[in-house]
Chain A
Amino acid sequence: MLQAALWGVLVSARTGSAWIGLLTGVVSAMGIAALLGYFHLRLRSDLILTGIALNIFCSGSTVLFLYLFTGNKGISSGVKSLVLPRCDIPGIANIPILGEIVSGHNVLTYVAFVSVLIAYYMLYKTPYGLRLRAVGEHPQAAASVGIRVNRVKMVALLLSGFFAGFGGVFLSMGYVSWFGRGMTAGRGFIGLVAETLGGRSAFGALWGSLVFGFTEAFAATAQAFRIPAEFANAIPYIAAIVAFVAYANRRRHSTR
């Protein structure tokens, strides 16, 4: 996500096209995913530790490149980067209240909701999705019927990099119009919680993400209710712990 957020900004500034920025951002995220795949699958490194190492790599190298191209180590506001356009849905945009809520969001917001459908379709309605799930469920069994387990795992990692890339680009080219060091602030891990909370399915991830989106939005407005900003900022993380533990317990009881 960090790589995508950075390269989206840098490339859009250089080429003058937000879309090329988006593309580069997504590709860079997939590149990191490919590295993770190579180290985990080919060189048999521990997935979690490699993930941690790549996270560190990204937070270091993004600042490095940011400094190289903008001369600033904290924020990219020095370069004129572009923002992806907002989208008005014809028809709905003019309806009061509903129009305000549903229409006029960043184009990636709609992409996010559509990709839930795409991911769902891919995972549950295509042969490849079936294979992918089989590999996750029982790799040996999948291998015994001729599925190339490592190749499927690699594709899965690349796809996850693809979607994470959109997330990163949204942060720097939609949510705000600049790249800041460490701007993801643990969102990758929150995404993990959201997905676990949603029972590892596409629609579950949607609900999980909505819950966390709500806590973040609540944190942003909490000062209006005279809640100290520090506590408000901590709310999404507290919610993540509660959700994770609650989910783990529910699953444990249901399997007994």
Chain B
Amino acid sequence: MRSNVFELVRTLVAVFLSLLIVFIFIVIVSKDPVRAYRLFLIGPFARISRLAEWLNQSIPLLFAGLAVAIVFQANQFSIGAEGQFLIGALGATMVALSFPEVDVIHLLVAILAGMLCGALWGVIPGLLSAYGLKEGDNLGVLVVSLMMNFIGFYTAYYTINNHFRDIYAGFMASPFIPSTSYLPFLSARYRINGGLVIAFIIAGLVWYFLYRTKWGYEIRMVGTNIGFASFNGINVKRVIIYSNVISAAVAGLAGAIEVTGLHHRYLWQSMPGYGFDGVIIALIARNNPALVPLSALFVAYLRTGGRVMERGSDVSAEMAMVLESIIVLLVTAEALLNLWQRKRLKRKVSQR
């Protein structure tokens, strides 16, 4: 067993190295690399509106990271958070538009509907990976969940476009939802989504669920050693299904919160990419729900920094994506720091 400190150091080293590599990238690409890099790294702090952008951006990422962490803890390589997010957003929008406008209840019903719709969308890959695929077929789980994202996107697109379309909007979007279903802003002036609070609470709940409840224990046991788990009388298929469904509920909740807390309508015309984002965030947080908020804030910071850099220099915002992928590459590279670890071990041995 590796120590947590070592894991942390490894992650930090990976982040540092990636920042260095990206700086080299920027030097190649940009005419004024120092300025671009400075905007990238400290740009989000320069204005309150940028801080708001950062916080708002981190909310769906936080949920996505949690959703992925749950399934990854069960060693299920599912990246279906994106489709579940969209279906959740769709469900919340539909209910918010059709439910009578009663204070508080309206909002609650809309959010619950989003969660439920997301969870239902997660039932399909759950059942498929439990009964449809071979045990431990990670590639199968990955492919099925990825395809479900595309199907979810088109399902939501179809429903909004044909049944809930705002014909006065210049693009494909639903009408605005009634104001009784709004989630209050943290700060109305800067439009900071109130879902931030919910996101942190859910992160705590997911941590409690995974580390302090029987179901969570079963998920982790299946993730560590599937054979051992089933030998000890754990119903592996059941665990696979409910880990998928709970993760999907979290992703669906994220969709509902984006609709009720920020956009107040369904407006996704292309896929937002939260499935892969979730993987990045969960990986940086080592699948630990308690660390997911930090990692989500970090990734959202990079994205915001990327956009600030794009507005203020000649480097495009996708540099943030490149940086994230390099971090993941370095974090997953098991042998990268082995050398360093071995040296430390030697020193310890020689001290005794």
Contacts and interface: CB of A to CB of B under 8 A. Distances in A.
A245 B322 contact: no
A68 B28 CA distance: 11
Contacts of B324: 56, 60
Given A42-B335, A231-B158, A245 B133 contact: yes
Contacts, number: 134
Interface of A: 39, 42-46, 48-50, 52-57, 59-61, 63-64, 67-68, 73, 185-186, 189, 192-193, 228, 230-231, 233-234, 237-238, 240-241, 244-245, 248-249, 251-252
Given A49-B283, A56-B280, A234-B150, A244 B329 contact: no
Contacts of B333: 39, 43-45, 50
Interface of B: 29, 77, 79, 128, 132-134, 137-140, 142-144, 146-148, 150-151, 154-155, 157-158, 161-162, 276, 279-280, 283, 315-316, 318-322, 324-326, 328-329, 332-336
Nearest to B138: A48
Contacts of B29: 64, 68
Nearest to B132: A245
B325 A241 contact: no
Nearest to A246: B132
- Please list the 4 inter-chain residue pairs (A to B) with the smallest Cβ-Cβ separation, ordered nearest first: A60-B321, A230-B158, A57-B325, A43-B333
A67 B321 CA distance: 14
B325 A46 contact: no
27 contacts: A39-B333, A43-B336, A44-B333, A45-B332, A50-B329, A54-B325, A55-B276, A56-B328, A57-B322, A57-B325, A60-B318, A60-B321, A61-B318, A64-B29, A64-B315, A68-B29, A189-B142, A228-B162, A230-B161, A231-B154, A233-B150, A233-B154, A234-B155, A241-B128, A244-B140, A245-B132, A245-B140
Given A230-B155, A238-B147, A241-B147, A52 B279 contact: yes
Interface of chain B, helix or strand or loop or mixed?
helix
A73 to B, nearest CB: 6
A193 B322 contact: no
A186 B146 CA distance: 8
A193 B143 contact: yes
Contacts of A52: 79, 276, 279, 328
Contacts of B329: 39, 45, 50, 53-54, 57
Interface of chain A, helix or strand or loop or mixed?
helix
Contacts of B144: 241, 244-245
B148 A39 contact: no
A60 B325 contact: yes
A234 B334 contact: no
Nearest to B142: A48
Contacts of A240: 143, 147
A64 B148 CA distance: 28
A33 B134 CA distance: 27
Find the residue from A189, A230, A233 having the highest chain B CB count within 10 A: A230
B321 A56 contact: yes
A204 B144 CA distance: 20
A60 B158 contact: no
B318 A63 contact: yes
B334 A45 contact: yes
A228 B142 CA distance: 28
A189 B146 contact: yes
A192 B128 contact: no
Nearest to B146: A189
Contacts of A231: 154, 158
B321 A59 contact: yes
A231 B158 CA distance: 7
A210 B154 CA distance: 23
Nearest to A46: B332
Contacts of A63: 316, 318, 321
B335 A248 contact: no
Given A43-B335, A52-B279, A192-B139, A241 B148 contact: yes
Contacts of B321: 56-57, 59-61, 63
Given A57-B329, A245-B140, A249-B132, 9 more contacts: A39-B333, A59-B321, A60-B319, A60-B322, A73-B316, A228-B162, A230-B155, A234-B151, A248-B137
Contacts of B155: 230, 234
B11 to A, nearest CB: 14
A234 to B, nearest CB: 4
Nearest to A53: B328
A114 B150 CA distance: 31
A202 to B, nearest CB: 19
Contacts of B326: 53, 57
A139 B122 CA distance: 36
Contacts of A238: 147, 151
Nearest to A181: B318
Contacts of B147: 186, 189, 237-238, 240-241
A206 B253 CA distance: 41
Given A237-B147, A237-B150, A240-B147, A50 B332 contact: yes
